Amino acid sequence: MTDIPIPPGALSGLKVVEMGQLIAGPFAGKTLADFGADVIKIEAPGSGDPLRNWRLIQDGTSVWWQVQSRNKRSIALDLRSAEGQDIARQLIGEADVLIENFRPGTLEGWGLSWEALSALNPKLIMLRISGYGQTGPYRDLPGFGAIGEAMGGLRHLTGEPGRVPVRCGISIGDTLAALHGTIGILMALYHRQAHGGQGQVIDVALHEAVFNVMESLVPEYSAFGAVREAAGSALPGIAPSNAYRCGDGYVLVAGNGDSIFKRLMSAIGRDDLGNDPALADNAGRVKRVAEIDAAIEAWTQTRTVAEVMEVLNGARVPVGKVYTARDIVEDPHYRARDMILRQPTRDGHVVEVPGIVPKLLGTPGGVRHSAPKLGDDTDAVLREIGLTEQQIAALREHKVVA
């Protein structure tokens, strides 16, 4: 079973060609596909997207693939061949959106430049995700998400003070770039509809997507010469907000609102701090954050995580435990909001995967079909652009398609 009957999504009728591999470009394609866009993923014959073989494998395919490529169609096409490039032009000529995350200049080398493609299809919207963008002195350098996280300023702030910068555990730089790209596509679609039907290029650099979420990093340097440093689990300049040790783990407590702070102090038996006029606002609490954190942890470390959460939830203080994968899949709130989906694979398994975000109540997203095997849809897609069975057979014989 691969097709799952659900209503059309908000992007039903949108035609997308996805070129590229791994994370950033394909995550943007996945987001559009989840909401009904017809995403045709072009992969290299034989190898396909390397993500098919990343991390834990089930029957020869990564289970990550089941999330990243659900709702897409796969065509195995050799873009390095003249025949493959011609087929790509035909597909792009009928598309609304092209997504690519190759190094700048790659498409131009295949005769698929923006100038050529927009002349072929003036309504085309082209998302280009790369390490450093399509312009600037670094444009030709190779760039992955981890490098973008470093250049964007994120890695300098992660980890404990004075220790090696750490990554957050996922490819957040790629995903941020993908989400910025998706927003760009939606804005370009609106502009195309409202202002004359012309397409445009969306140029997303990995480091710029990271930099865009760095909050007060640069303004503080500009105004005060302050270089923000790593602070472990704390949130510098906002107090109290930290991770606190319990008898059996850690909890995160965000007691940085003025009224929340008073409720927090009352809940832990420290009304002396809660009623202290010097701690009535964030500026005062920041000056004494070490004292406040010590008071909170003196209380939490004599209790279990569950006990702390019960008390602080009862006091309406934001609190949470550090979730593992097991915690997530066993949590009733995740289940109640359909954030854990049972998704069939094309090898006959069922794997649990993350649900759909965001939640549109009128035209919700969903999993319409499972992630394709390499080239599952090659013949069907080629027929849609008018190729005959004989032409498809000839292309396959010459290894242009698979």
The residue from 34, 174, 203, 376 that is catalytic is 174
Tokens of 143: 């760039």
Closest CA to 37 of 209, 189, 221: 189
Residue 370 DSSP label: P
Give the Cβ contact number of residue 44 at 10 Å: 17
Nearest to 375 by CA among 8, 69, 136, 81: 69
Roughly what angle, to the nearest 10 degrees, separates helices 305-314 and 258-267?
130
Q: Are 376 and 74 contacting, i.e. CB atoms less than 8 angstroms apart? A: yes
| Residue (of 101, 256, 109, 233) closest to 173 by Cα position | 101
In the residue annotation, 376 being an active-site residue is answered as no
State both tokens at 42.
Answer: 């072009």
By the 8 A CB rule, do 2 and 370 touch? yes
Contact present, 51 and 29 (Cβ < 8 Å) = no
The three-class DSSP label of residue 83 is helix
Per the rule left: phi > 0, alpha: psi between -120 and 50, beta: everything else, 380 is: alpha
Query: Does the CA dihedral 219-222-226-227 come out positive or negative?
Result: positive
Q: What residues are annotated to the active site?
A: 174
